[in-house]
Amino acid sequence: MDDYTLPFWIYLGVLTFFVAGAMKKILASHLSAAPALVAWLGATVLVERLWAFCLPAVLLLALLVLAFCIYSAARTGPPPTTLSAHGKAVFITGCDTGFGNAAAKHLDALGFEVFATVLDLSGDGARDLQRTCSPRLTLLQVDITQPQQVQQALLDTKAKLGLKGLWGLVNNAGVCVNFGDAELSLMSNFRGCMEVNFFGTLSVTKSFLPLLRQAKGRIVTISSPAGDQPFPCLAAYGASKAALNLFTNTLRHELEPWGVHVSTVLPSAFKTGQSSNHAYWEQQHKQLLQSLSPALLEEYGEDYVAETKELFQSHASQANPDLSVVIDTITTALLSPQPQARYYAGPGVGLMYFIYTYCPFGLSNRFLQSLFMKKQVMPRALRKQSGFNLDLSLHNNNNNEEKLK
């Protein structure tokens, strides 16, 4: 067995790849999963038999490369057909900036009749949409946390559509108002995230469902991997997105008999909203320090809070400014004949979910921490405790040495 240590690990990695691929095919399939399952399991058995004959690792890899080439060649051909945007109406929330603004422009250019909600009709985002989009686009001032404004938007949309239903609802509006550890975050931060990301989206979705059922349309919700995975210092935001993800998944099952497709888009890190605004992070940092009690600030320390701010700011500055991946994904979810339940938009998201799903908890947890918040500063109380323990250990060692003398 020792002679085959390297091939064994290669075999184990390949076997894991095939089994994971089979499960992904089953979970993502909207039709019968039998052909895909048979193909993947057959390939897995082939690898198993090759290993039984102890073929060299190089030959095994060569066979895998050949199989991949054959598979890729078999998949080449005309691109999959998509539905036409002509005559279809879509309602998008949160179009002042970011994904919503870019999606409204792109979908308008494709020929959709776009209803775009903004918080400020006189703001830069609204003026930008008015200047660049066609007369088909309708701007609506809506705060999705205000039921009266949501209902008014529904009435305005109905009046414009007439007897035609609504093809697409893009739930994009969202906020991330928390900053730092859960213990340091105000209750108002948790409530603020829930009000917009969950309750606001819930209100819009429930209000527009009759129009979506009428058209057998689509619901596309922009969520976050933070709703599925425990990102440090994102407890309030992640909890709201977790509630949103569960609601969306439940809605998918309930609306299937109505012919309404429900998709969730999970983007990686992109520059949107205030993320690249240095003054924004400084203001958040100042507000956090002012909100903490003296005792809690003493426990954590000003330097610990400052490092958190710097890490958030650094992460935001390194985010991708090109939003096209997410916009293309939204378009695909709206126009694909068989849209997927989930879309991973951006580099690294699929790998992150693979590690989180298939790797041991300890490994996936360390990967997540190293990926997002690489904290170096410990809370002040823990540093004092570590120093006390170190002094106590040195004192005990000195006493032991005195006894030996």
Give catalytic residues, as residue numbers.
237
Are residues 323 and 99 in contact, defined by beta-carbon separation less than 8 angstroms? yes
Integer CA distances (angstroms), 252 to 168, 245, 256, 260, 384, in order: 14, 11, 6, 8, 51
How many CA atoms within 13 Å lie on the side-chain side of 115? 26
Q: Tell me how long the chain is.
A: 405
CA atoms lying within 13 Å on the CB side of residue 141: 6
Cα(173)–Cα(143) distance, rounded to whole angstroms?
9
Nearest Cα to Cα of residue 371 among 386, 382, 356: 356
